[in-house]
Amino acid sequence: MLNIALVFKMFWRELRAQKKRMFLTILGIIWGTMSITMLLAFGDGLRSQLNKNQKGMGEGIMIIWGGQTSMPYKGLPRGRPIRFEKDVVDFLKKRIPEIEMIGGEYTRWGQSVANKNKMFNRMVNGVYPEYETMRNMIPEMGGRFINQLDLDLKRRVVFLGNELADDLFGAKTPREEIVGQSIEINGMKFTVIGVLKKKMQMGMYSGPDWNRAVIPATTFHSIYGHRYYHNLVVKPHDVNRTEFVEGRMIEELSGKYKFNPEDESTIHVWNFIENVKTFNNVMLGMQIFFGLIGGLTLLVAGVGVANIMYVAVKERTTEIGIKMALGAKRFQVMAQFMLEALLIAFIGGAIGILLSVIITKTLGALEFDNEALQWLGKPNISTTIAIVTASILGMIGIVSGFFPSRKAASVNPVESLRYE
């Protein structure tokens, strides 16, 4: 059907005959390819960076606060506060088997946390061991989080946020040396059992984890005497069932605390999973936007390809006429120009992708101290990006080759052969 060697020969001749124009056209495709791949790669890097940061607070969890009623219910007036007592945790866990983990969290602000002569006003949390997993409270090497024994014995032990640890002991002190040291919280001695491993955290409530002093819930209760949890942290078994679990919890809580389940001011839920979905949609929108910008740049380059192919058709009417005289069918005349356009797109695209890969790999290998640069994340050329770019390139090659080659097929052989 086609003599591929001859197709390449003709293309090669065209390449040499129109060096400058061909060079600029291919440059345009390279530029377009690079802009689309780089934009998508940075978008992808940004997405995974933000994703990582988001997960700093915990994966697949919900935070629940009690509010106050705004509707009278079963003879009870409005304005009644809803507060979570200790027993609510077991109550919910028993009633809703879809919950994997649940824990209450006591919170007290403005507590003096001191090491010798350094004193800071910080937030103190009283929590349970599940908190470690649910909230991604990973200790640095040599340390640990609060365990069941700490709770049972109401130990005076503390898990420090990494910045609080820096404040108390100086950023240079190795974390292993901090473990086992004593600090004072409101004048009471506490032993440090671990320091939070540095994490990126975007979502937060009450305050960032890196500034917290976390102690066992039982210890907290015995010191401060809080009757109520500040909030609950819930992790369902299945992230796809969070909405269901949220609904069930409101249902059960409304029965327990006697409020109208329709009353939205009673229970506040920060459904983190829903947030992630929204976030993913925002990121997807951004990626599409980036892709569109890159695609448009590539489209402009495609116009260049179409242009050079139109010139080629015009300059090669004799060749077209000869082929027609020898019995080339319409598509056989078109194929030459289609393939040449695709070849330009392919060459430019291959170089563009290669350069993009080199740039992203180089950037990926560099470590930035600058926080703004860190937020850019690591550009990443995924398979999807490669496929998207390649198919846009292919489409541009086909479209920019189609119209010129259709012109080629409409050449009148008699006239074109009369040229000589």
Task: Map residue 236 onto helix, strand or coil.
Answer: strand
Interface pick for other proteins out of 51, 111, 260, 332 (rule CB under 8 A): 332
**Residue whose CB is less far from other proteins, 2 or 300:** 2
* Of the residues 36, 324, 345, 393, which one makes contact with other proteins according to CB under 8 A: 324
Task: Please report how the helices 330-365 and 19-55 are oriented relative to each other, as an axis angle in degrees rounded to 10.
Answer: 50
Site membership for other proteins, residue 384 (CB under 8 A): no
Candidates 211-219, 323-331, 345-353, 363-371: pick the segment binding other proteins (CB under 8 A): 323-331
DSSP string over 390-411: HHHHHHHHHHHHHHHHHHHHT-
The closest alpha carbon to 226, from 316, 114, 313, 111, belongs to 111
- Tokens encoding 39: 């934009």
3-class DSSP assignment, residue 340: helix
Site for other proteins in 244-283 (CB under 8 A): none
Q: Is 3 one of the binding residues for other proteins (CB under 8 A)?
A: yes
Name the minimum Å distance from CB 324 to other proteins: 7
Q: CA-to-CA distance for 215 and 64, rounded, in angstroms?
A: 20
Which of 122, 135, 248, 323: binder of other proteins (CB under 8 A)?
A: 323
Which of these ranges, 99-107, 139-147, 210-218, 325-333, lies near other proteins under the rule CB under 8 A?
Answer: 325-333
**Is residue 319 at the binding interface for other proteins, with CB under 8 A as the rule?**
yes
Applying CB under 8 A, which of residues 111, 271, 318, 374 lies at the interface with other proteins? 318
Q: Point out which span in 61-69, 70-78, 227-235, 317-325 binds other proteins (CB under 8 A).
A: 317-325
**Closest by CA position to 63, among listed 260, 273, 253:** 273
Residue 366 or 419 having the CB closest to other proteins: 419
For 279, the token pair is 């976030």
Q: Could you give the count of Cα atoms lying within 13 Å of 177 in the half-sphere of its Cβ?
A: 8
Written as one letter, the residue type at 286 is M
Interface with other proteins, residue 408, by CB under 8 A: no
Q: Does 413 bind other proteins (CB under 8 A)?
A: yes
Residue type (1 letter), 390: A
Of 277, 314, 330, 361, the one binding other proteins (CB under 8 A) is: 330
Here the tokens at position 353 are 């992708």
Give the residue carrying structure tokens 């976030």. Answer: 279
Q: How far is the CB of 350 from other proteins (least distance, A)?
A: 24
CA distance 164 to 212: 7
Residues in contact with other proteins by CB under 8 A are 1-3, 5-6, 9-10, 13, 318-319, 321-330, 332, 413-414, 417, 420
